[in-house]
Amino acid sequence: MLADDEDAFPNKFCIFCLVKKAVEMLVFECTGISSSLHTPESPSLSACSCPETEREPPASGLRRSEETHRYPRKEKRMKNKDAKSSAYHDTSSRIIPMTLMLIVLCGFSFYLGGIYFSEKNRFLKQDVASAILREQSVVTPLRIESVEFPECSSDYQDYTPCTDPKRWKKYGNYRLSFMERHCPPMVERKECLVPPPAGYKVPIRWPKSRDQCWYRNVPYDWINNQKSNQHWLRKEEEKFIFPGGGTMFPNGVGAYVDLMQDLIPGMKNGTIRTAIDTGCGVASWGGDLLDRGILTVSLAPRDNHEAQVQFALERGIPAILGIISTQRLPFPSNSFDMAHCSRCLIPWTEFDGIYLLEIHRILRPGGFWVLSGPPVNYENRWRGWNTTVEEQKANFDKIKELLTSMCFKLYRIKDDIAVWQKSADNSCYDQLNPSSFPPKCDDSMDPDSAWYIPLRTCLNVPSQKLKKLALKSAPRWPKRLHMAPERIAMVPGGNSGGFKHDDSKWKVRVKHYKTLLLALGSDKIRNVMDMNTLYGGFAAALISYPVWVMNVVSSYGPNSLGVVYDRGLIGTYHDWCEAFSTYPRTYDLLHFDGLFTAESHRCEMKYVLLEMDRILRPNGYVIIRESNYFVDAIESIAKGIRWDCQKHDTEYNVEKEKLLICQKKLWYAKQDVSGHEGIKTEGLGSANRRRLH
């Protein structure tokens, strides 16, 4: 309700009084004539804190005026040039301070008037907002007519819209930037359902999937033919087998990681929890670390051979499409405890070390960078690298020089593995010469901003405000999972109390989800995505289940991804108006909480749901927690993309919020040469409509 004018500013006429008196004084000082500004329209000043008083002219002034009137000629004769000059000087000296006083009073009156009207506007906005909320509470839920989407052609069975090799020729070759994200414009978006390959089967369950997958699900012979001698994988009848080999670990990935643990003791005691593997191959390194309590993001670009990340996800190992090229990786600064490159073919010394600077940005203070392969152990290996010993020595020396300039120190080196450690505090950065290269980054770019942000050849120095950011100061895993990180204070509205409430809330919610979706916690669900997390509460509540969770933080929302990593979880930035950086059929469960409430003004619902269908495995599940306004519309579109859905109440039966639990049907393209005709479903059975199994 708007405040009354008099109540909001009871002395609003006092400023008028002050200004009026100042003008009277100015007129009198200039002319010697008393003036009154009273007009019939002038407001009464009786209630003002500066009541009206008439200023009488001095007696001497009055007598002088009368005398001048009686004897004008005599007065005129008494005046001379010097007297005129003196009078003019006295008058001028009085005008200047009075003019300044008038200006100050006028400015002050405008200031107080602005406050008065801003208060009126604030009350008005509150009234309007309240009216809108009252109207929204009775708004009819959004309705959308059901539309059945057609099937895409079989050419799109591995379609990745924002990393599509068919569109690479449109972009430049500089630093392989054509392999970065380049999403199609709206007019080129596909409104069809991506089909599975011919002969697709339900993926092998975890943990068996770590060692084998169906050939028909990832039918690429190239990687088998080219990498069989490196023991990446081999084909046996209808399956690919993963023996755990690799270019730099011919004795198996287990022996390779054992040596690494000897070099980095923190890998054994929970100090190191999160890692990133650049150029991951088929993610055998990340797969082995899962048994050692280390959660790894395996990173590789989409290439013409189409295999690496898809193989990793088919095996049930965390992975994402990406490349260090011209833009920052979609992760916050100071996130990973360890970074790894095993003959990943990244030219670390080129372009002024810009790729190493990106590793420095995302690595936590005190974190480790592990390099194996050229040029490490060049003295014994150079002959097999088609190079010279001088070239490899120069390359290794250059890497050491660059890393030293970035405040890394060579931690350990043995055989084919070299380990560097990032400075745990700011003492090294404080000693850097201002003219040295690379320079420190200025404050114009947030080090946590990483969505389409260009790489820069400068050093991101960790904030001195964060005392527990360093690896040695962070709680060990699993203790860190349920402790409020120091970075929570950097999230708008974030605090330890809100964190604890969020943590408890998701435990209750997941318990309720389990009663509605019995497959949750079973071997039917391995790869999980929380599409719009805040602190990773959903993932934390699933920690005892045989799953891993990709936590997605909106690139347009509160930047809380650093908190997710501080908890020992993994995630990425993303904008759901675009396609996600993964292959089709890579997640068993997708979950979101209020995504359309937050993003419907930017992202069209049908495109978001079509993207969800693309990345969801056949027979996979979706848990949608959304405003009652959107649920019916979501259910209508879901029917058109061949999902079976059921609507449920939330755990506290809140009327304004509903749960929609869906399952994607397993269907085969009409042109499937394996003999599957039309649509084959293994979705919800009509016998059990209460719970999903």
The pLDDT-based confidence of 476 (bands split at 50, 70, 90) is: very high
What pLDDT, on a 0 to 100 scale, did the predictor assign at position 671? 65
DSSP letter assigned to residue 488: G
- What is each CA distance from 69 to 35, 63, 74, 83, 211, in whole angstroms? 20, 10, 10, 19, 118
**CA 182/CA 167 separation, integer angstroms:** 8
pLDDT higher at 530 or 234: 530
Q: What is the percent of the chain where pLDDT is above 90?
A: 67
- DSSP H helices, 79-179, are 81-136
Is residue 197 within 8 A of residue 217, CB to CB? The reply is yes
Task: Say if residue 170's pLDDT is above 80.
Answer: yes
What pLDDT, on a 0 to 100 scale, did the predictor assign at position 592? 98
Query: For the residues 640-661, what does the mean pLDDT come to?
Result: 96
What pLDDT, on a 0 to 100 scale, did the predictor assign at position 87? 45
What pLDDT, on a 0 to 100 scale, did the predictor assign at position 224? 60
Sign of CA dihedral 556, 301, 363, 497: positive
Query: For the residues 421-448, what does the mean pLDDT come to?
Result: 93
Among 481, 494, 553, smallest CA distance to 274 is for 481
**CA 470/CA 317 separation, integer angstroms:** 27
The structural domains of the chain, with segments of one domain joined by +, span 5-136, 250-430, 479-664
Q: What's the CATH code, domain 250-430?
A: 3.40.50.150
For 577-587, the pLDDT digits (tens) are 999 999 999 99
Query: For the residues 160-179, what does the mean pLDDT come to?
Result: 95
Place of tokens 């943990």: 207
For 136, residues 6+ apart whose C-beta sits below 8 A from its C-beta are none
CA angle, 558 then 577 then 191, to 5°: 160
What pLDDT, on a 0 to 100 scale, did the predictor assign at position 82? 46
What pLDDT, on a 0 to 100 scale, did the predictor assign at position 4? 42
Is residue 284 within 8 A of residue 232, CB to CB? The reply is yes
Query: For the residues 123-148, what does the mean pLDDT come to?
Result: 58
The pLDDT-based confidence of 147 (bands split at 50, 70, 90) is: confident
The pLDDT-based confidence of 71 (bands split at 50, 70, 90) is: very low
Query: For the residues 229-253, what does the mean pLDDT come to?
Result: 83
Most confident of 124-128, 414-418, 440-444: 414-418
Of all helices (H) and strands (E), which one includes residue 290? helix 284-290
Place of tokens 């890497």: 399
What are φ and ψ of residue 463, in 5° steps?
-65, 135
What pLDDT, on a 0 to 100 scale, did the predictor assign at position 98? 64
Most confident of 114-123, 526-535, 664-673: 526-535
Q: What is the residue-averaged pLDDT of the chain?
A: 84
Is residue 162 within 8 A of residue 185, CB to CB? The reply is no
For 366-396, the pLDDT digits (tens) are 999 999 999 999 999 999 898 999 999 999 9
Task: Say if residue 176's pLDDT is above 50.
Answer: yes
What pLDDT, on a 0 to 100 scale, did the predictor assign at position 397? 98
Answer yes or no: same fold for 250-430 and 479-664. Answer: yes
For 273-328, the pLDDT digits (tens) are 999 999 888 899 999 999 999 999 999 999 865 578 999 999 999 999 999 999 99
Give the CATH superfamily of 479-664: Vaccinia Virus protein VP39 (3.40.50.150)
pLDDT higher at 12 or 141: 141
Sign of CA dihedral 531, 535, 537, 543: positive
Give the lowest-confidence range in 108-122, 236-250, 573-587.
Answer: 108-122
Pairing of strands 363-372, 417-422: antiparallel
Can you give the C-alpha Rg of the chain in angstroms? Answer: 36
pLDDT higher at 691 or 645: 645
The pLDDT-based confidence of 55 (bands split at 50, 70, 90) is: very low
Task: Say if residue 68's pLDDT is above 60.
Answer: no
What pLDDT, on a 0 to 100 scale, did the predictor assign at position 137? 47
**CA 224/CA 683 separation, integer angstroms:** 33
